Amino acid sequence: MLNRRFALACLAISASLLAACASASSSSSSGSSVPSISEPDTAVSLATVTSDTPASTDAPTVATTANPVPVTVAAAPTPTTIKRAAKPKVVVTPAGATRLHYEVGPIDIQPGQNTIEYTSSIPKPKVDGWIVRLAPNLRLADGSTPAVDVIHLHHGVWLNTSAVDSTSALPERFFAAGEEKTAVEIPAGYGYPYKASDGWMLNYMIHNLWPTATKIWIQYDIDFIAADSPAAVGLVPVRPIWTDVQNGSVYPVFDVIKGSGDPLAHTYTYPDDASSPYGSRAPKNEWVVDRDGYIVATAGHLHPGGLHTDMWLRRAGATPLDGHAKTNTANTAHLFESTAHYWEPAGAVSWDVAMTATPPNWRVAVRKGDVLSTSATYDSSRASWYESMGIMVAWMADTLAPSDTAADPFATAVDVAGSLTHGHLAENDHHGGPFDPAFNYVDSLALPSQPAASPIPISSYVYSQGDMLKGDPIPTVTAGGTITYRNDDASIGKGQWHTITACKAPCTGGTGIAYPVADADIAFDSGQLGVGGAPTAGRISWTTPATLPAGTYTYFCRIHPAMRGAFRIAATP
């Protein structure tokens, strides 16, 4: 298994970090250990596939246990209550289906990498048939699953280049995953039709939180029914309907600032609470239904801090049922809430989360001309959440499977509770937060001041002034002044991009999936300092707002959260 902090010991960053890493390398490892996986036998570009041999169908064990303007908010209220759902279901291979295991890799991941990448082709089934389930994962060379606070799949999108997407001009996006690792499960009686001649590609973003290189494999298991199988008889084809609050964007994200949104619920819903989220353009979160049909399944994707995604349907002249309508929006019925269930002990702050999906018998009738839309709701009481997402992929059929019935959402309430997709995953075991002797961060509040350099370089994963592992005097300017940071790591390799993101002082807890977070009462964030297209800020420098009041400000790097620092604004003499 991978030792989380051994990664940092592999690179000589500074005397302070090396001392910390030497201690860390002897600490416990993390990540789930999985059976050894045989090396691939077929190579396609970067892609490899173990074989079309069926994978294990045993049910897994599921555990149930531009510069920003600072925003000042009051002390955080009690965190938003996280809705709970039923226990996760046990996953079994559907009757007549074979579970096929595929891998893309080895993929060389550079130190600190956080780039959006594409493959020209990926492994896929060799014969025509039907896909009824797809589940993602990552593995390392030793077969283990990496710990999420070491390296994780920020997102992956599987595309069928032989079909056109229903809601954009892209190739058909038929599957997506983030680090919550939600599997797609198409209900019995339906399937995604597949041709062996279809072209597949993968858009992925691997987030390496540490300054060491590694190799990973992106895995995906497909439950597949061959076209000539008796189980394929009578299957009804479905197509993916991709809805996204920033649909069609290269990097479909938005920011949630602490204290923003609904002041009573302490939540922020995008796009509802955003100021002109789409400008003069058509709303990116809406899709006009192109023909009559039936939505048979959906589930959501969001990031830490997210509470739920919601799917809505607007129909001209229709009146939604009381209690199942969208507030302050005419003719709009609520179809489903995909709720985030946080296994994380600290609540809605990490990737230790499972989403709910529609129940197996959920069916909703839609009409040509209806408008399908999506929204995403985040907890804004605890922290700011930068580069957040809100996506729901629905599966739509033109006809119903035999004996199935569908409800008109304007006549029957369809927004029932969903089913959890999985339990706690072992790769989320290291939460962080308490004092960690391996990383002896210095409390910056007690340190003396020094004049701030101009600019302050960020080099080799160290803030050259005010780094919390160095414990040197804090770079300081008087009120009304500013401090500029410059990322000198930005041009290394594919780019090593850092942020200056406010965290509540002293911000000295151990690094993990739940700590640190952007929980400062005065929020600021530099964006990812680099010039490499999305997700970078398009610049390597950032200047603190001139409006910051006097005080000592602590911060961290959102991309490499073991990096911590501080600066000070001194009162005007």
How far apart CA 510 and CA 55 sit, in angstroms, is 38
Cis amide prior to 106 (ω within 30 degrees) = yes
Q: Which residue's entry shows tokens 């946080």?
A: 342
pLDDT at residue 88, rounded to an integer = 57
Check residue 92 and give its pLDDT: 75
CA 393 to chain CA centroid, nearest Å:
15
437 and 421 co-located in one domain = no
How far is 195 from 190, CA to CA, in rounded Å? 16
Of the residues 370, 398, 428, the one at which a domain ends: 428
pLDDT digits (tens, 9 = 90+) for 266-307: 999 999 999 999 999 999 999 999 999 999 999 999 999 999
Last residue of one domain, picked from the residues 375, 408, 428: 428
**Residue 264 domain-assigned (yes or no):** yes
Average pLDDT over every residue of 363-369: 98
Determine, yes or no, domain membership for 225. yes
Q: What angle do CA 34, 35, 41 make, to 5 degrees?
A: 115
Q: Is residue 17 part of a domain?
A: no
CA-CA distance, 556 to 518, in Å (whole number)? 8
Which amino acid, one-letter code, is at 472? D
Q: Rg of the Cα trace of the chain?
A: 24
Q: What is the DSSP string of 239-302?
A: EEEEEETTTT-SS--EEE-TT-SBTTTTEEEETTTSSSTTTTSPPTTEEE--S-EEEEEEEEEE
Q: Is 371 exposed, middle or buried (CB count within 10 Å of its CB: 0-12, 13-18, 19+)?
A: middle
Contact 276, 238 (CB under 8 A): no
Same-domain status, 424 and 438 = no
Q: pTM of the prediction?
A: 0.87
Does residue 500 surpass a pLDDT of 80? yes
Cα 370–chain centre separation: 29
Token pair, residue 521, equals 């009462």
| Contact in structure between 2 and 144 (CB atoms under 8 Å) | yes
| pLDDT for residue 168 is more than 80 | yes
pLDDT tens, position by position, 11-26: 333 434 433 333 333 3
Tell whether 330 and 444 lie within a shared domain.
no
Q: Per-residue pLDDT for 6 more than 50?
A: no
Is 550 in contact with 570 (CB distance < 8 Å)? yes
Same domain, 244 and 389: yes
Tell me the pLDDT band of 437, cut-offs 50, 70 and 90.
Answer: confident
The total domain count for the chain is 2
Give the separation between CA 78 and CA 541, rounded to whole angstroms. Answer: 36
The Cα–Cα gap between 229 and 249 comes to 39
Average pLDDT value for residue range 17-36: 34
Around Cβ 480, how many Cβ atoms within 10 Å?
Answer: 10
| Mean pLDDT computed over 389-413 | 97
Model pLDDT, residue 59: 33
pLDDT at 153: 94
Give the separation between CA 352 and CA 347, rounded to whole angstroms: 9
- Indicate whether 445 belongs to any domain: yes
- Give the rounded percent of residues in the chain with a pLDDT score beyond 70: 84
Asked if 548 and 476 touch (Cβ cutoff 8 Å), the reply is no
Amino acid 68: pLDDT: 34
Q: How many helices (H) and strands (E) does the chain have?
A: 2, 35
490 domain residue, yes or no:
yes
Sheet holding 564-570, edge to edge: 449-451, 474-478, 564-570, 551-556, 501-503
422 shares a domain with 514: no
Residues 401 and 437 reside in one and the same domain: no
Distance in angstroms (rounded) separating the CA atoms of residues 464 and 455: 10
Do 356 and 462 reside in the same domain of the chain? no
> Is residue 83 over pLDDT 70?
no
The answer to whether residue 12 sits within a structural domain is: no
Nearest to 425 by CA among 66, 61, 129, 117: 61
* Residue ending a domain, choose from 403, 428, 453: 428
Q: How far is CA 262 from CA 33, 190, 203, 353, 434, in A?
A: 42, 40, 34, 23, 31
pLDDT at 245 over 60: yes
- Cα(293)–Cα(366) distance, integer angstroms: 5
pLDDT for the residue numbered 120? 86
SS3 state at 281 = coil
Q: Are strands 214-226 and 129-139 parallel, antiparallel or unpaired?
A: antiparallel
The pLDDT of residue 9 is above 70? no
64 contacts: CB under 8 Å, gap ≥ 6: 87, 88, 423, 424
Residue 419 lies in a domain: yes
Confidence at residue 64, expressed as pLDDT on a 0 to 100 scale: 29
Question: Are residues 317 and 372 part of one domain?
Answer: yes
**CATH code at position 512:** 2.60.40.420
Q: Which domain holds residue 467?
A: 431-573
Q: What is the pLDDT of residue 370?
A: 98
Q: Are residues 373 and 462 in the same domain?
A: no
User: Is residue 514 scored above 50 in pLDDT?
Assistant: yes
Residue 148: predicted pLDDT: 97
Cβ–Cβ < 8 Å for 385, 236:
no
- Kindly report, residue by residue over 93-133, the tens digit of the pLDDT: 888 999 999 999 999 999 999 999 999 889 999 999 999 99
The model's pLDDT over 185-209, given as tens digits with 9 standing for 90+, comes to: 999 999 999 999 999 999 999 999 9
Q: Does one domain contain both 414 and 490?
A: no
What's 67-103 look like in SS3? Answer: CCCCEECCCCCCCCCCCCCCCCCCCCCCCCCEEEEEE
> Is residue 465 domain-shared with residue 400, that is, in the same domain?
no
Residues near 566 by beta carbon (within 8 Å), at least 6 away in sequence: 444, 447, 466, 468, 474, 505, 552, 553, 554, 555
8 Å CB contact between 177 and 354: no
- Nearest alpha carbon to residue 456 among 562, 542, 545: 542
Q: Strand order in 151-164's β-sheet?
A: 116-119, 200-208, 151-164, 171-177
Looking at residues 58-62, what average pLDDT do you find? Answer: 31
Average pLDDT over residues 140-150: 97
**Mean pLDDT for the chain?**
87
Q: What is the rounded distance in angstroms from the CA atom of residue 421 to the CA atom of residue 357?
A: 7
Is 53 part of any domain? yes
- Structural tokens at position 451: 């004049």
Residues 437, 312 share a domain: no
